[in-house]
Structure 1
Amino acid sequence: MRIGQFRNDAARTRFLTAYDRVFGTLWPVPRHTVDVPTAFGTTRVYRAGPTGGTPIVLLPGAAGNALSWYGYVAALAARHPVLAVDPVGEPGASVQTAPFADGRDLARWLDETLAGLDVPAAHLVGCSYGGWTAAQLALHAPARVAGLTLVEPGGLAPIGARFYGWIIAGGLAGLAPRALRPALARLVNNSTVLETGLMSLALPSAGFRRAMPLPPVFTDDELRGLRVPTTVLLGERSALHRSAAVAARLAGVAPGVRVEVVAGAGHALQLDRRELVIDRILEHVAAGH
């Protein structure tokens, strides 16, 4: 099995130079950088906020990194310790040394990362692929999870052509002149196109060869096995799944999971409705989960 890595040293240097530049521009609060060794490689984690209390751990979507959460960290770190993760196997400052075979491996990686940070339990917040990864930890090492907030998570429906088309359309829109991007973002229902800083990392990221396992659809038994407090936020216009059908399935097999379908939002819910998602995260944590 392959591992995720840059094509060569020049590609890695090109990406990290751009990443550091954009990080310095967008990241809004003081941070402390930690590199955590695991069986799958070294994980880069950015700490922010107070030192006491159960931390909020932020996991990005596929091909993303900690910077995906730059618009969240100030509000969350004002009240809670925050750990924003560059996942091993994704373009960022982490370095992968062993392959992931499946979700159990990803759960082991995240468990080892939190153990290396001396975090006995955390509130996990994951979007898309990061949501699937967070749920894997809850299934395989539930003692490490105080609660889950899953934003448009993977694993709730098969990945189809509609989703890949959405990704391609968003990528093409991001290459258009900046003046055209607001109209194109509405057309393709992807507000990521408007994130100039994040979009500037798209070309440097192309030098990274990703080799992560595709998320299979959770079985009914797995969904019933989410015994930690869980909130799932879905975009009404998601390209990843049919949100009404997903919400109905969760209500039937895992009634303890809180589900909210956000009107008008798409798969980029994390960016489409940032303030709403921040509020839901803080509500979930404040409820004692």
Structure 2
Amino acid sequence: MARPSIQDFADSPDGRTFFAAYDALIPREGGLPIDVETSHGVTRVNSYGSASGTPLVLLPGGGATSASYVNVVGRLAEGRRVLAIDIIGDAGRSRPGPGRPRSTGELLTWLDVVFDDLGVDAVDLVGHSYGAMIALAYATGVHHERVQRLALLDPTSCFAGLRLRYLAHALPALTVPTPDRQRRFLSWETGDASLDDIWVEMYCAGARFPTDRMIVPERPSREAISRLQSGKNVTAMFAPHSRAHDSERVSARVRRSLPDARVVILGSGTHHTLPLQPAGEITAELALLPG
């Protein structure tokens, strides 16, 4: 049986809910959509602000889309250009083509080609969760010279693995994804936190989004990490109540691996409240990455 296409999903009730919510969130802070066409497919980049200088590039967590930055992107764009990207092969408005990435190397090349098309020579790169995995791999890989500053938001599988209890709770939503299962998992991990209602509708409706197999970059080697120690400004932010991992232990590992990094334990939040909340703290920390 053939996998449903993105168009099949868009024509379904869940798909209509997903895209209606997504399209309501992006313009809220003045986002201007840009579709970048490459051999990998079409990548949706939502652009905010118009200031010159090094742009701030935002990569979301799995299934969260670039709209997950809706609570922070407006203030960040007051003094610089911000580019929020839908990861190709994941939920959002990016559309993979025949040359879709099928390996870590191809995924990082995809990101590099998108930057080329946008005319971006250098970036300050931010990633949350799965986006942090991609950002770290990019910043320590063959394209590392393009990254001026790196910020990782509750990075998973970058310095330590996921908790077994987290994986057990996530399993039902991963094996047979439905909006109800997605909602229950989100409710459990966030402790029933009050999040943006439109984003929650989008995230849960996207449970059946026809995504590609997730490409999981390997944890960087010591040699790769040394590239970050050679002058890059690195920030790692952790949610104090994250159920994905033990934030205190993982932050300690970051300090050992990257003694010069700025490591921040936020005042509140869980893995899946980020980057929606705590918006004020996250914005303040990211604003310390001057463009």
The 1:174/1:12 distance shift into structure 2, 3 A limit, reads: closer
Gaps of 5+ in 1: none
Residue 55 of structure 2 corresponds to 55
Structure 1 counterpart of 2:113, which letter? Answer: E
Structure 1 counterpart of 2:238, which letter? Answer: L
Is 1:121 the equivalent of 2:126?
Answer: no
> Secondary structure of 2:126's match?
strand
The 1:8/1:145 distance shift into structure 2, 3 A limit, reads: closer
Gaps of 5+ in 2: 174-178
The 1:223/1:236 distance shift into structure 2, 3 A limit, reads: farther
The 1:34/1:160 distance shift into structure 2, 3 A limit, reads: same
Residue 142 of structure 1 corresponds to 144
Query: For 2:170 and 2:215, how far apart are their aligned partners in 1?
Result: 18
Q: CA deviation at 1:147?
A: 0.8
Residue 286 of structure 2 corresponds to 281
Q: After alignment, is 65-74 or 208-217 more displaced?
A: 208-217
The 1:148/1:18 distance shift into structure 2, 3 A limit, reads: same
For these two proteins, the number of residue pairs brought into alignment is: 275
Q: CA deviation at 1:191?
A: 5.9
> Secondary structure of 2:29's match?
coil
Contact 1:62 1:129 in 2 (8 A): yes
Q: CA deviation at 1:205?
A: 4.0
Structure 1 counterpart of 2:279, which letter? Answer: R
> Secondary structure of 1:52's match?
coil
Residue 7 of structure 2 corresponds to 9
Q: After alignment, is 54-63 or 155-164 more displaced?
A: 155-164
Residue 222 of structure 1 corresponds to 224
Query: For 1:34 and 1:46, how far apart are their aligned partners in 2?
Result: 6
Query: For the aligned residues, what is the CA RMSD?
Result: 2.8
Q: Which string of whole-angstrom CA distances, capped at 9 and with x for unpartnered residues, describes residues 107-152 of structure 1?
A: 2111111111001011111100101111122112122212111101
After TM superposition, list the pairs within 5 Å mapping 1:109-258 onto structure 2.
109-140=110-141, 141-154=143-156, 155-167=158-170, 175=183, 185=187, 188-190=189-191, 194-201=195-202, 202-226=204-228, 227=230, 228-258=232-262
Q: CA deviation at 1:229?
A: 1.1
Instruction: Compute the TM-score of the two structures, normalised by the length of structure 2.
Output: 0.82
Query: For 1:204 and 1:147, how far apart are their aligned partners in 2?
Result: 31
Q: Give me the identity figure in percent.
A: 25
Instruction: Compute the TM-score of the two structures, normalised by the length of structure 1.
Output: 0.83
Structure 2 counterpart of 1:156, which letter? Answer: F
Query: For 2:193 and 2:215, how far apart are their aligned partners in 1?
Result: 24
Q: After alignment, is 237-246 or 136-145 more displaced?
A: 237-246
After TM superposition, list the pairs within 5 Å mapping 1:88-99 onto structure 2.
88-97=88-97, 98-99=99-100
Query: For 1:19 and 1:207, how far apart are their aligned partners in 2?
Result: 9
Residue 68 of structure 1 corresponds to 68
